[in-house]
Chain A
């Protein structure tokens, strides 16, 4: 009995020391994750994530992922959407999560009657998706809009609203079949 306990303990000790040494000896300084995360963010610095710019958000996520601690949600990038979440998840090696707001992709629309043509939104739009001239109603190029809401904040007369990107036969997706009553269904 005592032999068995001693030999198992000895084995555990040796293995433990071995692992400890290996952990120290082969420790790899994790390469700057923040840069990699930054690379997959849109870089529009829209601030919807709650951080002052994409860089800050990327650093927060990278730091949290590298050092443990309180995790930072990876689904806060509004313009990036699901594709960016997936990319962040790949870089950080975590599971992707759903987009923060379940309303789907959005785009800005200028109510042209109310627009006073102040060009404030044009200056703020990070992707130059708003066109218009001084004292003329502006309009949003739908295909270019990232849904970052920067223009909404800028508009002095609140004439910009966010609407869901309309479904058309061109961007429509096949749904997933319901599947059988098999082991994945509960």
Chain B
């Protein structure tokens, strides 16, 4: 157990959550410390019992190396669960909305890497029923083995989780997809699904990026997900095995997502292992648990070697998306300068979604951002195959990320301009209205005073008339 936990408020896709504890407050294990903001968001919880010592900006494993608000907790060593942690005794007898609420409250997100809030995925809209549930047991990347180990050790729980999910959605078909180089996982899962006729295990070829949603769906159904749509539009829902396990824990045990299995590997690690890690544990504590670092570590990566994120410092905490911690030595890294593209076409041949990476990179190099739509830049899932295979060491994915962020920032800027304009017009309209209102009031006042005046005139006239009529005695 580390001396101090750093629980970032931004561990998922969507809106970051807002700290709901104050400095000095005692928290119990599983107590909510960050509240979900908005529909697509996920709560975060205290990984153990202890005291909130500060709420500060802390570095996270993000390629920007920037900080986010983080709740810092000093454990009290009691590791005492909160009272709120209570599971459903018989989940299959309650209303699905109760289960959905449980998952939402537990802050479960997709643990395969996308970190999309699971509760959102578990509440499909009425017009898009889920016909097929895919449980992704294909490891996301080479080096990582956390999912396959989970399947070997927790097959029963995973299957129970699937059962709950199938009841909640509802759906009556489920395929558990496992790569064929993991016979142990396939055996364990096949045994576990035997009592459930609606589930089956299917082995798929081990070929990165098999775990990507596009490839998974193609291998199982033979169909492609149309560009710009989600698999949900096809009536397919994908969940990772680790997410399934988290859902089981959330529903049956009431435990929020406060830990996950992390693969600690690479030749820079003294004792590589799969470790059950509490969320918020600094990377250096995890590495220390695995015997520390070998000398000469050149690169530290959160996640896998193909899609992970390099980190600058070991103060970065393990978060929900951290599937692996890799410490690579110099000899595991190819460090060569970028060369010219010789159009060898290897990137074209390896691209799992049939893009022309070299052409996209050329356009990114020459800043032709307005011509990216025709080469489908936004369809790229950044699997890294093209960069891996490029003989010229061109950082293709880096070019794509650059181009994507430029295009996205531009879209946001355009949106902001539109909003600005709308606000300006709203304000102008309001000013005009107020002015008109004022004018009318002025007018009304003028009219009123004029009326008074004329009334006074008439009054005077009446008086004089009266006088003239000689009603009044001469003074």
Interface residues of A (CB under 8 A from B): 42-44, 79-84, 86, 125-129, 144, 146, 167-182, 184
Contact = CB atoms under 8 A, between A and B. Distances in A.
B97 interface: no
B68 interface: yes
B131 interface: no
B380 to A, nearest CB: 13
B409 A173 contact: yes
Interface of B: 10, 16, 60, 62-64, 66, 68, 337-340, 364-366, 392, 394-395, 398-399, 401-402, 404-406, 409-410, 412-414, 416-417, 419-421, 423-427
Contacts of B421: 42-43
Contact of A179 (B338, B417, B426): B338
A167 B364 CA distance: 23
Nearest to B63: A174
Contacts of B337: 180-181
Given A172-B64, A179-B338, A83 B417 contact: yes
A176 B394 CA distance: 12
Given A169-B64, A176-B364, A180-B338, 18 more contacts: A43-B421, A43-B425, A44-B420, A44-B424, A83-B413, A83-B417, A84-B417, A125-B427, A128-B427, A144-B420, A144-B423, A146-B416, A146-B420, A169-B60, A171-B412, A173-B409, A176-B402, A180-B337
Contacts of A84: 417
Contacts of B63: 172, 174
Contacts of A81: 413
A179 B365 contact: yes
A169 B66 contact: yes
A177 B398 contact: yes
Contact of A169 (B10, B426, B427): B10
Contact of B62 (A80, A129, A169): A169
Contacts of A184: 365-366
Contact of A172 (B66, B366, B412, B424): B66
Given A44-B420, A79-B420, A180 B340 contact: yes
B425 to A, nearest CB: 7
B406 A178 contact: no
15 contacts: A42-B417, A44-B424, A86-B410, A125-B427, A127-B420, A146-B416, A168-B68, A169-B62, A169-B66, A170-B16, A171-B412, A177-B399, A180-B340, A181-B337, A182-B340
Interface class of chain A by DSSP: loop
Interface class of chain B by DSSP: helix
Contact of B402 (A43, A83, A175): A175
Contacts of B416: 146
Contact of B398 (A44, A79, A174): A174
Which residue of B395, B413, B424 has the most chain A CB atoms within 10 A of its CB atom? B424
A161 to B, nearest CB: 21
Contact of B424 (A43, A171, A175): A43
A123 B254 CA distance: 52
B424 A177 contact: no
A169 B236 CA distance: 31
B11 to A, nearest CB: 11
A127 B64 contact: no
A96 to B, nearest CB: 10
A81 B413 CA distance: 8
Nearest to B422: A127
A118 to B, nearest CB: 18
A128 B415 CA distance: 17
B66 A167 contact: yes
Give 6 closest A-B pairs by Cβ, nearest first.
Answer: A83-B413, A172-B64, A127-B423, A174-B401, A173-B405, A180-B338
